[in-house]
Amino acid sequence: MNKKKVSLKDIAEKAQVSTALVSYVLNGKEKESRVGHEIAVKIKAIARELNYEPNYLAKSLRSGKTQTIGLIIADISNPFFANIARIVEDEAKKNGYTVIIGSSDENAEKSRDLIAVFLNRQVDGFIIVSSEDSEEQIRYLLDKNVPFVLLDRHFPDLATDFVSLNSFKAAFDAGSHLIQNGYKNIGLIAYKSQLFHMQERIRGYRQSLAENRIPFQSTWLKEIGFETVEKEIRVGIDDMLAADFPVDALIFATYRLAIAGLKYINSLGLKVPDDLAIVSFGQAEVFDLYYCPITYVLQPMEELGKTAVEILIHKLKQPDADKKQILMEAKLVARDSSRLKVKVA
Amino acid sequence: MNKKKVSLKDIAEKAQVSTALVSYVLNGKEKESRVGHEIAVKIKAIARELNYEPNYLAKSLRSGKTQTIGLIIADISNPFFANIARIVEDEAKKNGYTVIIGSSDENAEKSRDLIAVFLNRQVDGFIIVSSEDSEEQIRYLLDKNVPFVLLDRHFPDLATDFVSLNSFKAAFDAGSHLIQNGYKNIGLIAYKSQLFHMQERIRGYRQSLAENRIPFQSTWLKEIGFETVEKEIRVGIDDMLAADFPVDALIFATYRLAIAGLKYINSLGLKVPDDLAIVSFGQAEVFDLYYCPITYVLQPMEELGKTAVEILIHKLKQPDADKKQILMEAKLVARDSSRLKVKVA
DNA sequence: GTTTTTAGTTTAATCGTTTAAACATACATT
DNA sequence: AATGTATGTTTAAACGATTAAACTAAAAAC
């Protein structure tokens, strides 16, 4: 960069004073530090004239604070997380923080790397959407007393701050909704994951069946591996349709599963919802644009993101405050893909 | 954070040497600086034992380099850019750089803010997807000699490095493809924008008509304002369909326009491609999932992102190298939405 | 007329690195 | 023995800011 940046020293020289005075004035400490009024005015004028911008690195090195938040999300190519990232970024900026984003791609190792890199970069704190098998990393942060907030996914056994979704309730509602609309053989396509939110979705789904006295069939639940979504989904759906009690409705536990599933359903020539009703988690333009708009679980993204930032920033100011554990409620948005079942004559 | 971080000094003390030696050893300069072999081994051992991690802030302050790239994209909620962001991040990481991302939301003022914040944060360089009216900002960077590469959009009048798409050719191909498949009345829905890539898309589209001796009708071209996409698209499409030469095919110049347009087309009950053929820029899962898969212009995202990073990093090492100006070619992916027109009897 | 206060300013250490230059030894050369 | 060279190590300044503490000079208090 051409003209080297102006520093406190430059201003000090031009004003014929020490850097200390300049620092006091520009940090609004003229009162406490009893800086002469005239000189204060002069310093401010010179600072403006030279277009002074403080050097964050120096500031941070001295203060130990970088005003930077590390955001680790599970998958940036998922529009849900991309949106969350944007919200977090905006909210952080409002509070004078910069966000650095990393995507762990649902991979514990990448997540570990990111945490290391970000710690190295001296982020003040983290907002984390945990990936599978990353519980131990969270323990580590807890142990090192690094400020962080878990977002969207949390570990029930760990005493951490978190903001997530009441997945049990959301899945329960999804199932109940389908049942109310006359569907009886309801499948769930979830990820094969020990993550709590996923287990809760499964539990909520099963509970909805149970409360309606629908005996659960093991073929109705498919748990798909992250790495082999496309293939397993095809096999899974085939299996569900060929079962003794073939499904007439499907719940997708995530956006990505829904995309893959719908593609396959399309290719089979099945008609939604007549051949197969659909409810999905996650939200996206796809769901509007599908020939039959998809019923989905509306997650309060805006609140999730904002609250996470709020909690983290509060924590940065008051490290010893009580842990905040927030479960937000989703709202089922009913569309055509789960409309009242037409009885076959 | 609990245990304060270990510094060079801690290692130095434990090894009973000066920090200089430690620094030399840990930076692999033992040879040039003739550090004793035994002591070098000892220092390394202690560093490992204490789990030493250098402090980036101090390093950066000293070196004037932060190993950080500022990425400013026009709209993070657009999957095209979200993907680009991910690619840039990955590629940068491979080269030891961290990326901080900001979304300008197609807004010059936000873009200016981001540039200021990032400069403040001492990013080593920028990768920028410019937004409308931001040419002057680019001039400013050029003038200040800040290293940067423009991505996806560039200004033909400015001598900058850039990596973008041959938009003229891509639009020309889109138009020609429709014409070849029997469509004659072809509309284009673009943004109302002075940005070069948009103007080029319009030019390419018109050229395809011209070369096929199809007289251009002014009703066929709609330029939509960023802020009022939904409304203007409805009016625009209505107008195109009611014109003297009603369109039988539509090209969308961006992903966002396509989404809005398709929604409206759906709501009108029009059948793609029989009532209206479609080709769109941008790519996304939506296009696969639509009842009639959408023909689209495949942009070489991977190459775009990687090349931008490459050029920037090269530039950081060799600031005076020649400017690289790269136009990449898009590839039309033909699907059902633009299939051979069925002649009406 | 001395002492105390108050106001205004500077000094210098500090954050954690890097690195040119100075220093100190040992060894080789004449 | 005096000088030169190689080897190994330390010193100290620098990056740009912050801030406790020291200092100075003038005003207030006794």
Per-residue model confidence (pLDDT) at position B78: 86
Per-residue model confidence (pLDDT) at position B124: 96
From residues 32-71 of A, which are strand C contacts by CB within 7 A?
A: 33-37, 39, 58, 61-62, 64
Condensed to tens digits (0 to 9), the pLDDT of residues B33-89 reads 889 999 999 999 999 999 999 999 999 999 999 999 999 999 888 889 989 999 999
- Chain D bases having any atom below 7 Å from a protein CB: 7-12, 14-21
pLDDT at A2 over 80: no
Give ∠ CA A22-A25-A28 in degrees, rounded to 5: 145
Flag whether residue A316 sits within 8 Å of chain B, measured between CB atoms. Answer: no
CA B54 vs CA A3, A68, A333, B23, B123: distances in Å: 29, 18, 50, 10, 19
Q: Give the three-class secondary structure for A323.
A: coil
Question: B78 or B329: which carries more pLDDT confidence?
Answer: B329
Per-residue model confidence (pLDDT) at position A4: 67
Query: Strand A277-280 and strand A249-252: pairing?
Result: parallel
pLDDT at B16 over 80: yes
CA distance A288 to A290: 6
A31 touches strand D (CB under 7 A): no
Mean pLDDT of chain A: 94
CATH 3.40.50.1000 fits B8-54, yes or no: no
Point out the residue among B79, B98, B286 whose CB comes nearest to the CB of A117: B98
Flag whether residue A264 sits within 8 Å of chain B, measured between CB atoms. Answer: no
A55 touches strand D (CB under 7 A): yes
Mean pLDDT of chain B: 94
Point out the residue among A82, A143, A289 whose CB comes nearest to the CB of B82: A82
CA distance A213 to A184: 10
Distance B9 CA to C16 C1' (A): 8
Condensed to tens digits (0 to 9), the pLDDT of residues B103-136 reads 999 999 999 999 998 998 899 999 999 999 999 9
Flag whether residue B4 sits within 8 Å of chain A, measured between CB atoms. Answer: no
Question: B181 or A284: which carries more pLDDT confidence?
Answer: B181
pLDDT at A274 over 70: yes
Q: Which CATH number fits domain A167-299+332-338: 3.40.50.620, 3.90.1300.10, 3.40.190.10, 3.40.50.2300?
A: 3.40.50.2300
**Numbered ranges of CATH 1.10.260.40 in chain B:** 8-54
In chain A, what residues touch B58 (CB-CB under 8 Å)? 61
Residue window 268-287, chain A: list those with CB within 8 Å of chain B: 285-286
Rounded to a whole number of angstroms, the distance between the first and last alpha carbons of chain B is 77
Per-residue model confidence (pLDDT) at position B282: 87
Residue percentage of chain A with pLDDT more than 70: 98
Cβ–Cβ below 8 Å for B57 and A60: yes
Per-residue model confidence (pLDDT) at position B33: 86
A209-234: average pLDDT = 96
A19 touches strand D (CB under 7 A): yes
Distance A58 CA to C9 C1' (A): 23
R_g (Cα) of chain B, nearest Å: 26
A11-24: average pLDDT = 95
Query: Strand A148-152 and strand A125-128: pairing?
Result: parallel
Residue percentage of chain B with pLDDT more than 70: 98
Question: A339 or A284: which carries more pLDDT confidence?
Answer: A339
A195-218: average pLDDT = 98
Residue B327 makes CB contacts below 8 A (sequence gap 6+) with B164, B165, B166
Distance B222 CA to C20 C1' (A): 65
Per-residue model confidence (pLDDT) at position B344: 60
Tell me if B126 sits within 8 A of B141, measured CB to CB.
Answer: yes
Of A251, A234, A328, which is closest to residue A295 (Cα–Cα)?
Answer: A251
DSSP class of residue A316?
H
Q: Which residue of B has its CA nearest to A271?
A: B291
H helix or E strand, kind and range, residue A209: helix A196-211
Per-residue model confidence (pLDDT) at position B3: 56
Omega within 30 of 0 (cis) for the link into B319: no
Tell me if A88 sits within 8 A of A98, measured CB to CB.
Answer: no
B260-276: average pLDDT = 95
Residue percentage of chain B with pLDDT more than 90: 88
Least confident of A141-155, A227-241, A276-290, B218-232: A276-290
CATH 3.40.50.2300 fits B67-165+301-328, yes or no: yes
In chain B, what residues touch A100 (CB-CB under 8 Å)? 98-101
Cβ–Cβ below 8 Å for B61 and A55: yes
Residue window 139-198, chain A: list those with CB within 8 Å of chain B: 143-146
pLDDT confidence of B5, banded at 50, 70, 90?
Answer: confident
CA distance A216 to chain B (A): 30
In chain A, what residues touch B103 (CB-CB under 8 Å)? 86, 89
Per-residue model confidence (pLDDT) at position B345: 52
- HEC string for chain B: CCCCCCCHHHHHHHHCCCHHHHHHHHCCCCCCCCCCHHHHHHHHHHHHHHCCCCCHHHHHHHHCCCCEEEEEECCCCCHHHHHHHHHHHHHHHHCCCEEEEEECCCCHHHHHHHHHHHHHCCCCEEEECCCCCCHHHHHHHHHHCCCEEEEECCCCCCCCCEEEECHHHHHHHHHHHHHHCCCCCEEEEEECCCCHHHHHHHHHHHHHHHHCCCCCCHHHEEEECHHHHHHHHHHHHHHHHHCCCCCCEEEECCHHHHHHHHHHHHHHCCCCCCCCEEEECCCCHHHHHCCCCCEEEECCHHHHHHHHHHHHHHHHHCCCCCCCEEEECCEEECCHHHCCCCCCC
Distance B33 CA to C30 C1' (A): 29
DSSP class of residue A338?
G
Flag whether residue B218 sits within 8 Å of chain A, measured between CB atoms. Answer: no
Condensed to tens digits (0 to 9), the pLDDT of residues A302-326 reads 999 999 999 999 999 998 899 999 9
Cβ–Cβ below 8 Å for A56 and B121: yes
Per-residue model confidence (pLDDT) at position B305: 98
Q: How many Cβ contacts (< 8 angstroms) between chains A and B?
A: 111
Per-residue model confidence (pLDDT) at position A176: 98
Per-residue model confidence (pLDDT) at position A32: 87
Rounded to a whole number of angstroms, the distance between the first and last alpha carbons of chain A is 77
Q: Tell me how crowded residue B36 is: count the other CB atoms within 10 A of its CB.
A: 13
R_g (Cα) of chain A, nearest Å: 26
CA distance A239 to A226: 19
Condensed to tens digits (0 to 9), the pLDDT of residues A41-92 reads 999 999 999 999 999 999 999 999 999 999 999 988 888 998 999 999 999 9
Per-residue model confidence (pLDDT) at position B21: 96
**Numbered ranges of CATH 3.40.50.2300 in chain B:** 67-165+301-328, 167-299+332-338
